[in-house]
C-alpha cells in the first residue's frame, strides 16, 4: 500500500476545487491495489464494499441479465472513478468491473463515503457532474441504438473509444487497450459476427487495420463520415 502522490491526482475532476491538503486527507482513507489483466475488480450483485479511482490501466464495466446476455456499459479510463454504488444509494454493485489491462486503482471502503461527504460537500458536487455526464452519454447511446444502423453505431463506438483512449500513430489512431469484436458488439447492441463483417469490409477499404484484440483507425475522418451518414431518414415522424 504505497502512498499516492497528491500531485498526481489533484487535477482530476473528483478533486476539482479542493486544496492539496484536503486531497491528501481524502487520499489517506484509500488504499491502492494492482489488478492484473483480465481480473475481476468487483462483480455485479456483490456487496458494494468499496468505490474506486483508476490510476493506471483500463477497466471494463459490464451488465448481465439473468439469462446471461451482457452489455458493455462503459470503459473506464485512467483518472475516472467507478464503483460509485453507494453514491446512488445502492448496496450492491449494478455491474461487473474487469481490468482489461494490468491496472492500478485506489479503493475507498464504502463506509467512508458518508463521512467524507459530510466533511467535503464538494465531493458530492463533483460526483454529480461525473454521473451526470455518464447519463448524457447513456442517452446518446440509446438515441443511436434507436435510430441508427449497426454500421453507424460501430463507427460511433470506435470514434468514441479513440477519443477517450486513442494513441496517435504516424498514420491513424490506435485503441490503446485490448478490445475484441465481442466487446464492440456488446457496446453497440449487435453480434460479434456482424462487427467482424463490418471491420473486414472496412479493412478492404483501407479504413482500419485490425487483428486479435487490436484496432487501428487508419482513416478516422472517413469513419466519421460513415458514422454521420443517414441511410434515408428513418423516423422523421416529428410532432
Which residues of this chain interact with its own copies, rule CB under 8 A? 63, 65, 67-71, 73, 84, 87-90, 94-95, 117, 121, 124-125, 127-129, 131-136, 138-139, 141-143, 145-147, 182, 186, 189, 191-192, 230, 233-239
- Residue 110 burial (CB count, 10 A): 19
123: exposed, middle or buried (C-beta count within 10 Å: 0-12, 13-18, 19+)? buried
Stretch that binds DNA, among 48-56, 59-67, 131-139, 180-188 (CB under 7 A): 180-188
Does 238 help bind DNA (rule: CB under 7 A)? no
Which position among 63, 180, 219, 222 is part of the footprint of DNA (CB under 7 A)?
A: 180
Q: For the CB of residue 20, give the shortest distance to its own copies in the complex, in Å.
A: 21
> Which residue from 119, 95, 111 is spatially nearest to 40, judged by alpha carbons?
95
Stretch that binds DNA, among 18-26, 55-63, 74-82, 185-193 (CB under 7 A): 185-193
Residue 200 contact among DNA, its own copies, none, beta carbon within 5 to 8 Å by kind? DNA
> Which residue from 92, 114, 97 is spatially nearest to 45, judged by alpha carbons?
92
Residue 14 to residue 6: CA distance in whole angstroms = 13
Decide if 20 contacts 9 (C-beta within 8 A). no
> Which residue from 166, 38, 9 is spatially nearest to 100, judged by alpha carbons?
38
Does 200 help bind DNA (rule: CB under 7 A)? yes
Decide if 161 contacts 75 (C-beta within 8 A). yes
Residues forming the site for DNA (CB under 7 A): 149-151, 180-182, 189-194, 196-197, 199-200, 203, 210-213, 232, 234-235, 239
Amino acid at each position: 500500500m504505497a502512498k499516492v502522490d497528491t500531485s498526481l491526482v489533484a487535477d482530476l475532476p473528483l478533486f476539482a476545487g479542493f486544496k492539496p491538503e484536503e486531497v491528501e486527507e481524502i487520499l489517506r482513507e484509500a488504499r491502492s491495489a494492482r489488478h492484473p489483466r483480465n481480473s475481476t475488480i468487483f462483480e455485479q450483485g456483490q456487496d458494494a464494499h468499496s468505490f474506486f479511482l483508476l490510476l493506471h490501466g483500463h477497466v471494463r464495466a459490464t451488465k448481465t441479465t439473468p439469462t446471461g446476455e451482457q452489455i458493455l456499459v462503459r470503459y473506464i479510463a485512467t483518472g475516472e472513478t467507478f464503483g460509485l454504488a453507494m453514491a446512488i444509494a445502492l448496496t450492491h454493485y449494478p455491474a461487473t468491473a474487469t481490468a482489461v489491462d494490468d491496472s492500478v486503482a485506489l479503493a475507498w471502503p464504502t463506509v467512508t463515503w458518508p463521512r467524507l461527504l459530510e466533511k467535503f460537500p464538494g465531493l458530492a458536487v463533483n460526483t454529480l457532474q461525473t454521473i451526470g455526464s455518464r447519463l448524457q452519454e447513456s442517452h446518446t447511446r440509446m438515441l443511436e441504438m434507436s435510430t441508427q444502423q449497426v454500421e453507424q453505431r460501430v463507427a460511433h463506438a470506435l470514434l468514441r473509444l479513440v477519443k477517450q483512449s486513442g494513441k496517435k500513430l504516424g498514420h491513424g489512431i490506435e485503441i490503446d487497450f485490448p478490445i475484441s469484436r465481442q466487446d464492440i458488439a456488446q457496446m453497440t447492441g449487435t453480434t460479434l459476427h456482424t462487427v467482424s463483417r463490418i471491420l473486414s469490409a472496412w479493412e478492404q477499404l483501407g479504413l482500419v487495420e485490425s487483428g486479435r484484440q487490436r484496432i487501428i483507425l487508419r482513416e478516422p475522418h472517413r469513419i466519421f463520415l460513415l458514422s454521420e451518414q443517414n441511410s434515408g431518414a428513418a423516423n422523421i415522424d416529428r410532432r
